[in-house]
Structure 1
Amino acid sequence: MTTRAEQDRLWIRRYHPRPDAAVRLVCLPHAGGSASFYRPLSAAMPASVDVLAVQYPGRQDRRDEPCIQTLPELAGHITSVLLPWTDRPLVFFGHSLGATLAFEVARRLERDHGVVLHALFASARRAPSCPRTETVHRRDDDGLIEEVRLLSGTDSAILDDIELIRMALPAIRADYHAAETYVYEPGPDLHCPLWSLVGDSDPKVTLDEARAWSRHTDASFGFRVFPGGHFYLTSHQAEVVRLLTAGARPKRRPVEPGRASCP
């Protein structure tokens, strides 16, 4: 049986431990991404917030492990790993695929364990109830690389190194498969405050699709649009950190309450 220490070593990266922090921020990466994407954000967060970045299998120091290709399976693993960390309030920040994962893990924590998040931040992702038919995971390697270039989520120098990018393709393809085969199952709303953050020129999500996250909580809802595309947050880290810091404080007031529908 895997011990907690072994589970944490596999799944959790704690770049700047803050053991006395009152709140924990759990960051879930985008498709093809890794925990290290959140190292700068972790460094920028205040001492009051302990940051845990999730490392999916099949990349970086876990590259020898098989990738997980379905979102429910990945969400189940992450839920189990995070349970021991629920002794303090949790805030989730998920970007792209990570946003849907954050939502599904939050549902499992509420439904199966009675744990309600302090807040959930869904970044650069359409609401779960706004499906699209997408088949990027079925493309050949060149088509998959072109998709990554379009979103500008990887450093251009890495994209120009064909050997490096091809090493990352299995993880990218598996994550796209998980994201694109995900099917939302209607159920109870979350009971935590929920924010939707999006870039105004994101090719993967419309503003209406991002605003429709309001349908998935019965608590307060906030909506913020940034200049930029799918990876707007790399240019607006200070503002994202400000929002996350505010979301980690107790008794947040509702921002832009109301419910939206899919376009």
Structure 2
Amino acid sequence: MTQPSVRTWLTLYCLAHAGGSAQSYGRLEAVVPPGVRVVPLELPGHGTRLRESLLGEMEQVVTEAVRLLRQDREEQGGGDGHDRPFALFGHSFGALVAYETARRLRQAGATVELLLVSGRVSPAWPPPHEPLHMLPDPLFTAELSRMGGIPDALLSAPTVLQLFLPSVRADLRMLETYAHRHTEPLDVPVAAFAGLEDALTHTDGMKAWSELTSEAFDLALLPGGHFFLDQPQFREVFADRLARIAPSSVRAATDG
């Protein structure tokens, strides 16, 4: 039986890992519940904007993420309130950007329905590895590879990897030098996800996200290393977590 069409009830803005293209997160479109619109936020120097200059400071990155989000909302005819609800999702470096973007948006009075983060310990905690961003390219690549911090597709294509290394290094520098200065918790629910074999996270650091929100928090620990987003277990719990914030009318339509 064909499911009835469901109008868009949530836009999910996605931010990528260090050096990654947000466009690849568009594949989540096939995972999310009906009525969730997936919009990747592509940063300068990454993916489809590879020829643009990289941003070197977190404040600049957040400003650009907010600009892209607001541009999309204007194109869709919605403001920052409940008329067109939205959530943020970021993986690894993208989780840090999503967190800071959520804070910037809340300061401006926008409503963020949910912050979803994966592959990054609490921003209030330092990364669980020694700084890498100053290492020469061969050692930089070797260390990231050893920790599972580079997708296999890049490792198998050295020429392409060299093209992406500047953006990986720039993002990692921001991640490794980031200092958490916020004193008040974020009034947005947080859902966190981590791979049990991920050398770039650990359970205590993932649980510590709970200290950064005054709203609901939940953590899913899943099989896999740093890049687990294509794993069936992640896709299932990710979709379920989004479905929990669906309006009752949407749940009734899809259940029916």
Classify the TM-score, shorter chain. 0.7 to 0.9
The structural deviation recorded for 1:116 is 2.5
Report if the CA contact (8 A) 2:122-2:208 is conserved.
Answer: yes
Distance 1:203 1:88, change over 3 A: same
Matches within 5 A, 1:145-184: 145-152=141-148, 154-184=150-180
Distance 1:117 1:49, change over 3 A: same
Please name the residue that 2:100 is paired with.
104
Report if the CA contact (8 A) 1:19-1:50 is conserved.
Answer: no
Q: Does 1:139 align with 2:135?
A: yes
Q: Which runs of 4+ in 1 moved over 6 A?
A: none
Equivalences, count: 233
Could you give the per-residue CA deviations for residues 70-126 of structure 1, whole angstroms, max 9, x where no partner exists? 222101221122235235111111111111111100001111x11121011111111
Report if the CA contact (8 A) 2:16-2:91 is conserved.
Answer: yes
Name the stretch that deviates more: 40-49 or 114-123. 40-49
Q: Does 1:239 align with 2:226?
A: no
Report if the CA contact (8 A) 2:155-2:161 is conserved.
Answer: yes
Q: Tell me the SS of whatever aligns to 2:185.
A: coil
Please name the residue that 1:14 is paired with.
none
Distance 1:232 1:60, change over 3 A: closer
Q: Which amino acid aligns with 1:118?
A: E
The structural deviation recorded for 1:145 is 1.6
- What is the aligned counterpart of 2:9 among 22, 32, 42? 22
Could you give the per-residue CA deviations for residues 196-233 of structure 1, whole angstroms, max 9, x where no partner exists? 11111211111000000001111111111101111122
Please name the residue that 1:33 is paired with.
20
Matches within 5 A, 1:204-243: 204-235=200-231, 236-243=233-240
CA RMSD of aligned residues (A): 2.2
In structure 1, how many angstroms separate the alpha carbons of the residues matched to 2:244 and 2:58? 26
Report if the CA contact (8 A) 2:148-2:198 is conserved.
Answer: no
In structure 2, how many angstroms separate the alpha carbons of the residues matched to 1:164 and 1:232? 22
- What is the aligned counterpart of 1:126 among 121, 126, 143? 121
The structural deviation recorded for 1:245 is 2.7
TM-score by length of 1: 0.81
The structural deviation recorded for 1:150 is 2.9
- What is the aligned counterpart of 1:52 among 15, 39, 55? 39
Q: Which amino acid aligns with 1:30?
A: H
In structure 2, how many angstroms separate the alpha carbons of the residues matched to 1:143 and 1:234? 28
Distance 1:237 1:81, change over 3 A: same
The structural deviation recorded for 1:59 is 2.5
Q: Does 1:194 align with 2:179?
A: no
Report if the CA contact (8 A) 1:49-1:248 is conserved.
Answer: no
In structure 1, how many angstroms separate the alpha carbons of the residues matched to 2:148 and 2:94? 17
Distance 1:157 1:121, change over 3 A: closer
In structure 1, how many angstroms separate the alpha carbons of the residues matched to 2:68 and 2:236? 29
In structure 2, how many angstroms separate the alpha carbons of the residues matched to 1:37 and 1:80? 20
Please name the residue that 1:8 is paired with.
none
TM-score by length of 2: 0.83
Name the stretch that deviates more: 37-46 or 226-235. 37-46
Q: Which amino acid aligns with 1:246?
A: A
* Gap regions ≥5 residues in structure 2: 74-79, 249-256
In structure 2, how many angstroms separate the alpha carbons of the residues matched to 1:163 and 1:19? 43
In structure 1, how many angstroms separate the alpha carbons of the residues matched to 2:15 and 2:122? 16
Name the stretch that deviates more: 98-107 or 224-233. 224-233
